[in-house]
Amino acid sequence: MMKPFRELINFEDAKIIIMEKTGVMERKEEVSILQACCRVLAEDIVADRNIPGFSRAAVDGYAVRAEDTYGASIKNPIRLRIVDKVFAGDTGSKKIDKAECIQIATGAAMPYGADAVIMVENVKVEDEHIVITKPVYPGANVSPEDEDISKGETVLREGDVLNPSKVGVLAALGRERVVVYSLPEIAIVPTGSELVPPGNKLEYGKIYDINSYTLSSLLMNFSRIHVHDIVEDDEDSMEECIDSLLHMDYIIFSGGSSVGERDILVDIIERKGEVFFHGIALKPGKPTLFGKIGSTLIFGMPGYPTSCLTNAYVLLLPSVKKMARLPHEERKGYAVLAEKIVSTIGRHQIYTVKVRDGKAYPVFKESGAITSMSEADGYIEIPGNVEYIEEESKVLVKYF
Amino acid sequence: MMKPFRELINFEDAKIIIMEKTGVMERKEEVSILQACCRVLAEDIVADRNIPGFSRAAVDGYAVRAEDTYGASIKNPIRLRIVDKVFAGDTGSKKIDKAECIQIATGAAMPYGADAVIMVENVKVEDEHIVITKPVYPGANVSPEDEDISKGETVLREGDVLNPSKVGVLAALGRERVVVYSLPEIAIVPTGSELVPPGNKLEYGKIYDINSYTLSSLLMNFSRIHVHDIVEDDEDSMEECIDSLLHMDYIIFSGGSSVGERDILVDIIERKGEVFFHGIALKPGKPTLFGKIGSTLIFGMPGYPTSCLTNAYVLLLPSVKKMARLPHEERKGYAVLAEKIVSTIGRHQIYTVKVRDGKAYPVFKESGAITSMSEADGYIEIPGNVEYIEEESKVLVKYF
């Protein structure tokens, strides 16, 4: 009736094969820096100017020529005439001559001719003059024009993930657009005549398409998602669908839960490309298929919602992030198991748990149950050679 | 020339005041479940049906009437006629009568009349009959119609943050749209005649607007950002701007770095609403203003890029997330300080560091330098009464 899975591959090998076969994105695109956060830079950014680009007053005070202050002391106070004032943002049209000064605000560009600033606290103001009793050296209280960034410096590098401050560096250099790596294009294809899109009426024996929505939600921040119409799981429909989607980076089939449907996909991929594995010694998540046609990676995900989504977390997401050139860090931590778990010998198990006050409570019902996932904070992995884990054991929880 | 800050408030008090004055979002909106991930649910979701909604075969095999199998043994094999087959997704028009069976796939809806499934491994097939040598009980290998979710059950609650699996629950129930809390509307207003938008030519003494881009990047996932044109920092322009933005949840001024400009804002807010504080004993980030006009929270952020962005991380982001009803978890961890840091007595300091192999390296240059942020992985806080931290000290790094 249905062909059994050929050889099951073990979970660790499946992960290795997927990551080995996943290339990194080479396509690039230009985006506005307002949309660039979290994207991966595809160019080195070399400063084409000094930042701030002019020397600035480092304190509120008076811009002077340092040489005019030499010799000042309490016995020999020196008077400099206040000829103007500048605020941050005033352009540099002002200048001073011998024995003059300009009132200046912190951050304002130094006037032409001035090479030092005397702090406001260190002067006395009399009749539009300042009176000083101490000399200053050239450069005193002045920030250099390349204080932040020097022209020619490589400030950001290809491969950097742009965060708010790196976007700020681009803005500081006056860049309004930036070249980043494109996001992977992913087609999600729900298959199976039992599926109905949410929002429509259900006949007896049919179920709503869940996986298109969970997969989209999981991947949308790292890729461009295209949800395909539901495809009948016969050979012609599947083949036509694949042929129409080979410009994608990934095609992800989800839904066909039986061995028979998987086989259609296997046959098509074997004919047009390569099947890397079909069936993992994993629970849930056994009926998983991974292959490639041309440059398009193809996943056949289990139809059951929990199997599909846990597989997407543990196998698909790391691949998509690798292709997108994004780091993939698992958030994990130890917890104490609240009750004994009995596992299946010979299959690596992904067991969903919720964590409260350091205790991990099993929430796994069965792989068809979306509530096995929706109540879970994360999962523990139980290797294939472990039959059970005792209550109160310390377990490593990987968080969703 | 410039009025000094009135009383500086301490950093902890500033945080408390901001969080106290921040309300939570009451506006709601309906979105497609494809766009609902990471949003906050504004309704309880009560199941209006059982999920899956029909009883299913839990194994591949043959659907039977259990009573037809009673008495079967090796000595007394019982034969049942195979009248049909059903796959997952076939609708429930099929039925069996006495002494009949239907071949059934895992997950397929049980045919009318059948109440048990015999595993494919436990039958012999002969002439369109199955031969069984062991009885089954009613319900054997059958999953109930409410196995996943029971009608009337509250499956998701108002306030839940929708993650991929919770979106899956909505899909499972056939919900195509869902009511979520609206995102805070935030106007970002760059102020100051020294600012020029990136992409334009700079005159001497001017600088590019950085803060609009760093703030947008930081907040865009939790709010709707409206970047305003650059506003001159005179009273009329500022007041007109504020009046035009009082339908926002937040107005964030950034740019005016001098005490004088701050004062304009203080005067306007005092006249039209309330100033909660003006000036924090914080480095960088002292010239920070927080107030409210009507229901609109107003932040005056320091103009210097590092001051502005660190303040946004430590003061603004927690407020925006609270309003958006999102949890705000600080990612933190210990590291060993790679070199001695000298701090400023009397001001709480936010000191940016990069972390490599467990060592925290200071990257703070000065608050005007965007590179103080772009090279940083996070920051350490140095309380106002601490003058320096020795090399090799263990420090708590809060990550950006």
Amino acid at the residue A63: A
Per-residue pLDDT of chain B (400 residues; tens, 9 = 90+): 344 556 799 999 999 999 999 999 999 999 999 999 999 999 999 999 999 899 999 999 999 999 999 999 999 999 999 999 987 767 666 889 999 999 998 888 899 999 999 999 899 999 999 999 999 999 999 999 998 899 999 999 999 999 999 999 999 999 999 999 999 999 999 998 888 999 999 888 888 999 999 999 999 999 999 999 999 888 999 999 999 999 999 999 987 545 555 678 999 999 999 999 999 999 888 889 999 999 999 999 988 888 899 999 999 999 999 999 999 988 899 999 999 998 888 889 999 999 999 999 998 877 678 888 888 999 999 998 999 999 999 999 999 8
- CATH 3.20.20.140 for domain B11-22+183-323: no
Nearest to B1 among A103, A171, A192 (CB): A103
The CATH homologous superfamily of the domain defined by A11-26+183-323: MoaB/Mog-like domain (3.40.980.10)
The class level of CATH for A29-51+148-181 reads alpha beta
pLDDT category of residue A259 using cuts at 50, 70 and 90: low
Could you tell me what percentage of chain A is helix, strand and coil, using 3-state DSSP and rounding each to the nearest 5? 20, 35, 45
Tell me the C-alpha distance between A355 and B155, whole Å: 18
Tell me the C-alpha distance between A62 and A73, whole Å: 17
Most confident of A240-254, A303-317, B4-18: A240-254
The class level of CATH for A331-399 reads mainly beta
Asked if A341 contacts A351 with a C-beta cutoff of 8 angstroms, the reply is yes
* pTM for the model: 0.91
DSSP string for residues in A337-353 = ESS-EE--TTSEEEEEE
Asked if B172 and A52 come within 8 Å (Cβ–Cβ), the reply is no
Tell me the chain B residues in contact with residue A37 when contact means C-beta distances shorter than 8 Å. Answer: 216-218, 220
- For the four alpha carbons of A29, A35, A40 and A44, in that order, the dihedral sign comes to positive
| Residue A254: its H or E element | strand A250-254
Task: Indicate the CATH number for domain B29-50+157-181.
Answer: 3.90.105.10
The whole-angstrom distance between A209's CA and the closest CA on chain B is 7
Secondary structure letter of residue A312 according to DSSP: I
Which range has the worst mean pLDDT, A103-107, A360-364, B1-5, B41-45? B1-5
Structure tokens at A395: 């377990």
Domain chopping of chain A, boundaries: 11-26+183-323, 29-51+148-181, 56-143, 331-399
Amino acid at the residue A181: Y
> What residues pair up with B129 in beta bridges, in sequence order?
B81, B126
Q: For A365, which residue in chain B has the nearest alpha carbon?
A: B148
Q: What's the half-sphere exposure (Cβ side, CA atoms, 13 Å) at A173?
A: 23
Tell me the C-alpha distance between A233 and A192, whole Å: 5
Nearest to B37 among A196, A220, A374 (CB): A220
Tell me the chain B residues in contact with residue A170 when contact means C-beta distances shorter than 8 Å. Answer: 198, 213
Across all residues in chain A, what is the average pLDDT? 91
Tell me the C-alpha distance between A345 and A386, whole Å: 6
Tell me the C-alpha distance between A300 and A273, whole Å: 14
Q: What is the mean pLDDT of residues A264-283?
A: 93
Helix (H/G/I), strand (E/B), else coil: B151 = coil
Q: What pLDDT shows up at residue A1?
A: 36
Helix (H/G/I), strand (E/B), else coil: A153 = coil
Length of chain A: 400
Q: What pLDDT shows up at residue B1?
A: 36
Q: What pLDDT shows up at residue B155?
A: 94
The whole-angstrom distance between B303's CA and the closest CA on chain A is 10
Quote ipTM for the complex: 0.90
Q: Which residues contact A127 (CB under 8 A, 6 or more apart)?
A: none
Structure tokens at A325: 């050139």
Asked if B374 and A165 come within 8 Å (Cβ–Cβ), the reply is yes
Higher pLDDT, A29 or B373: A29
Which residue's entry shows tokens 């997108």?
Answer: A324
Q: What pLDDT shows up at residue B344?
A: 80
Nearest to A210 among B172, B194, B303 (CB): B172
Tell me the C-alpha distance between B30 and B32, whole Å: 7
Asked if A31 contacts B213 with a C-beta cutoff of 8 angstroms, the reply is no
- For the four alpha carbons of B165, B169, B172 and B178, in that order, the dihedral sign comes to negative
CB atoms within 10 A of CB A12: 11
| Residue B342: its H or E element | strand B341-342
Listed in order, strand segments (DSSP E) in B41-148 are 45-46, 56-57, 61-64, 78-86, 100-104, 116-119, 124-126, 129-132, 142-143
Q: What is the mean pLDDT of residues A76-103?
A: 88
**Among candidates B196, B373, B278, B368, which has minimal Cα distance to A59?**
B368
Q: Which residues contact A25 (CB under 8 A, 6 or more apart)?
A: A40, A181, A182, A183, A184, A249, A323, A324, A325
Q: Is the pLDDT of residue A207 over 60?
A: yes
Asked if A234 contacts A196 with a C-beta cutoff of 8 angstroms, the reply is no
Helix (H/G/I), strand (E/B), else coil: A309 = helix
Q: What is the mean pLDDT of residues A5-22?
A: 91
Tell me the C-alpha distance between B59 and B233, whole Å: 73
Rg (CA), chain B: 33
**Among candidates A42, A96, A44, A99, which has minimal Cα distance to A67?**
A99
Asked if B371 and A148 come within 8 Å (Cβ–Cβ), the reply is yes
Task: Indicate the CATH number for domain A56-143.
Answer: 2.170.190.11
Tell me the chain A residues in contact with residue B353 when contact means C-beta distances shorter than 8 Å. Answer: none
- Distance between alpha carbon B104 and the CA centroid of its chain, in Å? 43
DSSP string for residues in A59-96 = SSEEEE-GGGGTT--SSS-EEEEEEEEE-TT--TT-B-
Tell me the C-alpha distance between B231 and B187, whole Å: 12
